[in-house]
Structure 1
């Protein structure tokens, strides 16, 4: 409905008023200063926080990571991104239009007096109420003649401006076969044997070669790794290989390259010297000049650390450096403390560049976090990141430490093979061919205990069919097939993503008055309510 209103009403107004969203503006709203619609795609639905891998230290969306993600999109993801661009563009047009209306509306003094009079006047009333639901439906008889009469007299209510179809459909998940699993296990077992022979200094190159050009050498805590990995692996010497094992339909082979001890938690403060990039277009110095400034300030701080607060105020480009006003808002202190220690005045964001205590799970860029997790109390140095150069000082570290395991990983996603996909497609084709009428379709669904779904209002330009809304699941070809058919047709199967769909067209609705069968239930309810109203009115007389 909103799409219908936009096309028929708003687009004409946009053209008349010259409201546009240029390509340059759209690019800015998508990739430079992302629109709230774009940002929302990266938020956790429960916590409303930006996903860790796309978050800045302050919790905002990391534009560089966003651009990197978009540059690596596959064709189906490009299509999804294009749909999002259209949505953002339409939102920007509506925002501009709303702003114009808001700026052009005002309340006159006469209207203000009238509004005041209406709001200031009240009446005492008494009333009785009897609901339609107080009368059982079984007590009201609605005949076919009643329905036909209402339909004839109210055809204007049932005008259909956009053709639609009602469909029923069944689906099959295309899942890997045992042969697919065995093939993948054999391939990774062969790789594991080679991995054991690989020298430590060649591990990274080996992961690049076996992961389609992607290096995968990381450090991780035991609790962050798969529970499928046995405890014995963590006490094994460097060079030990484990796998293949299954982790969420991804089969992996891992190699332990060593261990390192990190602080359980650490408290740091920093001064951010930004570098020129798309986020900081106003930075005039070069990257080399930014590094030189960071080195110079670090040298001064090593001689006199009491100047840290002074340098934060004078040089830091971190917008989070502002000190909260505890006197005006004591809630700030309570909300921003990471560890419950009210006597720790450094333990809130902004105090001299302080971010309080952080842990391995804290949402900071890796280089920033690593400096605290691996550092010692009193360490001070320059740490590069995508934001620039951080002059970091470790203020405190926990007495306890944790072990991180240096791991190299080879991974393969478990997918159905072409043969498996063909087998499932043949099964669906047999179903559609043998059950090519509405009656046969319904009987087969019941006999095979398939999960049948219904959709009553499928438009030709709908972007999805309910249940097929994930990235890479575009049902446009199937929708086109449906619109080529007629009521009662069983449409041959289509494979969409990792599922196959077979559709039965139950009804077709063309432009003009809706056929009675489409609106019969609605009319029945309306006629019944009319008859109940007559009963209630007679009761009140």
Structure 2
């Protein structure tokens, strides 16, 4: 029962042992059928220890096979399942013994009520909801739309015999979940805040302090002028050792990448291969083009596109403008593709135009504002009326826009003019067509999904020739020979530069880009910039790997990477010579020394009044109003808890001694205190309830972390799975 006192003194991360992933796999197997399995490998016989229990590879593998149940899982699913199984084993060897010691159990009646009662446990909802909508699946929903225990029972009764074992597993996991809930509820009941504590909190929140002060900022003293000795840094490190504790082993590394691009030979070969496609494409009839392009092009999509000069492949304007319908042009290099184009049409048209519009929306139209109540017919009548007014010449259209339009974007001063646009611009087709298909200077009404637009064509670009084409793209892939060449290059680099010093020198000499990955844990599932981190992490945590170790090339999408371990930090206290630790120690020791200097300076300038003290110290006297102990912030500054703590014990009118704060050193005089008004019984009770809820909400995560810490967990799964 010592766990209760431990939680009162500890704020933990909210981490619960949830069997969601395991139940999802099992329930998915009840409602669907799939096949396949994954397994792990490794030379050691154990994947870790939990509370003294050695978890063998065979034991862990058996659980994987049990829950995957013959399914073929992708890497993400494997990772999810592995984590869920590990959490289940933590429950078995750490949490279950704790429950047994406390006499916590779930009776069959309790379990049945939570599974099949009028209000099944909300924990079960996730397994019977539509994953897309979040709504309860109709076949499991009751009259009010919530999960029906009766329908779950009916479902279980009709299960085939071969699924009964799996449902029994769900019941076992549900029992564990309910025991965990009962355990946490027991702990929550032990969390309490007294009436006196609630009153004290209200006083802290509502008592306001008004004061004047002078401040000497730490930033006024350049860091370069403060020297810290090794003895001072070590003293700070030893006095604040708990700040440097880390829960997991960590490695940091840097790596260089050798990108795999198609070689000139690869490109030449693809261009040559495209000649046969060109010849074949030329023979296809218009009615055959769609099927042929869909079958051959990289994207598998067929589309007709108009191209204008400037949009043709580089250097090919003349060839396209001279081409006849049916001609096939190419091949052309196009990024990572080789492309060919078949000419299927020609026209002369403008490239862009500029219009002004007034939108008349109607109720039910796309993005219509809630206050729009006119009907579609009424909107049409109003648009036609505006058109007549504009055409009469009595009123300029730009003068009507802000008054009449329902388009919020036209009320920002642009008078309905969004500038030049082309066929690719993001406006709806009918809107663009009104501009392209009507002469400059005309005004028309166009209907779109937004409503009716009164559109005035302001300007149009000159006519230009456009060629309608359909294209076939083929991605140029690096050949096996090219990939082998890049691998050999990466391998040669790793072999020649097989320690940290050589690696760093080679990177500098060859001007290579170096990418960093800091604090990589053994169980890391992602490393920035690396697609397959599992093999990289395994190498980083091999016994022979150390600071300065250089890896052989690892494949990552479209490249090989060579890694260099730059830092090894093992679980426990970070060493004093770690660069990050040294930096923290230097910052804090430097602040202490600056505080001493500034305090001595202020003491030397001491005066009878705060104003005179400010004059002596050549620093302005500032005012701060309404500071509370619950929110101890300097106006325009930062958090100053020490200053607030001194304020509440100060006497009005008495000047303080210099105080070391977070941002600088302060001298203040308390001007007045606005006492907290007397609290009503309701206010006290409300605050007490809020505080109890806050303390109780930390139970789940705190209890889990405390038990895990006491359970001595060693997790070596990354070496095997």
Task: Give the TM-score normalised by the residue count of structure 1.
Answer: 0.58
Structure 1 position 205 matched with structure 2 position 205: no
Aligned pairs for 1:258-269 within 5 A: 258-262=345-349, 264-265=352-353
Aligned counterpart for 2:426 among listed residues 363, 376, 385 = 363
* SS of the residue 1:484 aligns to: coil
Aligned pairs for 1:385-404 within 5 A: 403-404=465-466
**Contact 2:293/2:472, CA 8 A, preserved across alignment:** yes
Equivalent-residue separation in structure 1 for 2:485 and 2:11 (angstroms): 45
Structure 1 position 475 matched with structure 2 position 533: yes
**Contact 2:430/2:447, CA 8 A, preserved across alignment:** no
**Contact 1:164/1:510, CA 8 A, preserved across alignment:** yes
Structure 1 position 427 matched with structure 2 position 489: yes
1:484 equivalent in structure 2: 542
Equivalent-residue separation in structure 1 for 2:202 and 2:409 (angstroms): 40
**Contact 1:244/1:251, CA 8 A, preserved across alignment:** yes
Alpha-carbon displacement from aligned partner over 1:48-68 (angstroms, at most 9, x marks no partner):
xxxxxxxxxxxxxxxxxxxxx
1:174 equivalent in structure 2: 260
Alpha-carbon displacement from aligned partner over 1:56-101 (angstroms, at most 9, x marks no partner):
xxxxxxxxxxxxxxxxxxxxxxxxxxxxxxxxxxxxxxxxxxxxxx
Query: Which has the higher Rg, Structure 1 or Structure 2?
Result: 2
* SS of the residue 2:552 aligns to: strand
- Using the TM superposition, give the Cα deviation of residue 430 of structure 1 relative to its aligned residue in structure 2, in angstroms: 2.3
1:127 equivalent in structure 2: 214
**Contact 1:378/1:393, CA 8 A, preserved across alignment:** no
**Contact 1:169/1:504, CA 8 A, preserved across alignment:** yes
Structure 1 pair 136–391 and aligned structure 2 pair: CA distance change class (3 A): closer
Structure 1 pair 529–512 and aligned structure 2 pair: CA distance change class (3 A): same
2:238 equivalent in structure 1: 152
Structure 1 pair 28–450 and aligned structure 2 pair: CA distance change class (3 A): same
**Contact 1:267/1:358, CA 8 A, preserved across alignment:** no
**Contact 1:493/1:500, CA 8 A, preserved across alignment:** yes
Aligned pairs for 1:105-504 within 5 A: 118=208, 122-123=210-211, 125-131=212-218, 134-137=221-224, 139-143=226-230, 145-212=231-298, 213-262=300-349, 264-265=352-353, 326=403, 333-335=410-412, 340=417, 359-364=422-427, 373=436, 403-468=465-530, 473-484=531-542, 486-488=545-547, 489-504=549-564
Equivalent-residue separation in structure 2 for 1:214 and 1:484 (angstroms): 48
* SS of the residue 1:492 aligns to: coil
Structure 1 pair 270–220 and aligned structure 2 pair: CA distance change class (3 A): farther
**Contact 1:244/1:253, CA 8 A, preserved across alignment:** yes
Structure 1 unaligned residues grouped into runs of 5+: 30-107, 275-296, 311-322, 341-347, 349-355
* SS of the residue 2:305 aligns to: strand
Task: Give the TM-score normalised by the residue count of structure 2.
Answer: 0.45
Equivalent-residue separation in structure 2 for 1:328 and 1:406 (angstroms): 37
1:516 equivalent in structure 2: 576
Structure 1 position 525 matched with structure 2 position 583: no
**Contact 1:174/1:498, CA 8 A, preserved across alignment:** yes
- Using the TM superposition, give the Cα deviation of residue 531 of structure 1 relative to its aligned residue in structure 2, in angstroms: 2.8
* SS of the residue 1:8 aligns to: coil
Structure 1 position 9 matched with structure 2 position 6: no
- Using the TM superposition, give the Cα deviation of residue 199 of structure 1 relative to its aligned residue in structure 2, in angstroms: 3.3
Equivalent-residue separation in structure 1 for 2:11 and 2:401 (angstroms): 45
Matched positions, count: 394
Equivalent-residue separation in structure 1 for 2:415 and 2:535 (angstroms): 52
Equivalent-residue separation in structure 2 for 1:270 and 1:425 (angstroms): 63
* SS of the residue 1:27 aligns to: coil
* SS of the residue 1:9 aligns to: coil
* SS of the residue 1:537 aligns to: helix
Alpha-carbon displacement from aligned partner over 1:301-359 (angstroms, at most 9, x marks no partner):
9xxx859889xxxxxxxxxxxx998379997544496864xxxxxxx9xxxxxxx9974
- Using the TM superposition, give the Cα deviation of residue 524 of structure 1 relative to its aligned residue in structure 2, in angstroms: 3.0
Structure 2 unaligned residues grouped into runs of 5+: 1-9, 21-120, 135-197, 365-375, 386-399, 604-721
* SS of the residue 1:176 aligns to: coil
Aligned pairs for 1:4-43 within 5 A: 8-9=13-14, 11=16, 22=126, 24=129, 26-28=131-133
**Contact 1:339/1:357, CA 8 A, preserved across alignment:** no
- Using the TM superposition, give the Cα deviation of residue 252 of structure 1 relative to its aligned residue in structure 2, in angstroms: 1.0
- Using the TM superposition, give the Cα deviation of residue 244 of structure 1 relative to its aligned residue in structure 2, in angstroms: 1.5
Equivalent-residue separation in structure 1 for 2:473 and 2:308 (angstroms): 19
**Contact 2:445/2:452, CA 8 A, preserved across alignment:** yes
Structure 1 pair 480–21 and aligned structure 2 pair: CA distance change class (3 A): farther
Equivalent-residue separation in structure 1 for 2:283 and 2:124 (angstroms): 61
- Using the TM superposition, give the Cα deviation of residue 127 of structure 1 relative to its aligned residue in structure 2, in angstroms: 0.8
Structure 1 pair 233–7 and aligned structure 2 pair: CA distance change class (3 A): farther
Alpha-carbon displacement from aligned partner over 1:398-420 (angstroms, at most 9, x marks no partner):
77655542111011223322221
**Contact 1:166/1:457, CA 8 A, preserved across alignment:** yes
* SS of the residue 1:441 aligns to: helix
Alpha-carbon displacement from aligned partner over 1:228-276 (angstroms, at most 9, x marks no partner):
43234124221232221222232211122112355655899999999xx
Equivalent-residue separation in structure 1 for 2:475 and 2:511 (angstroms): 31
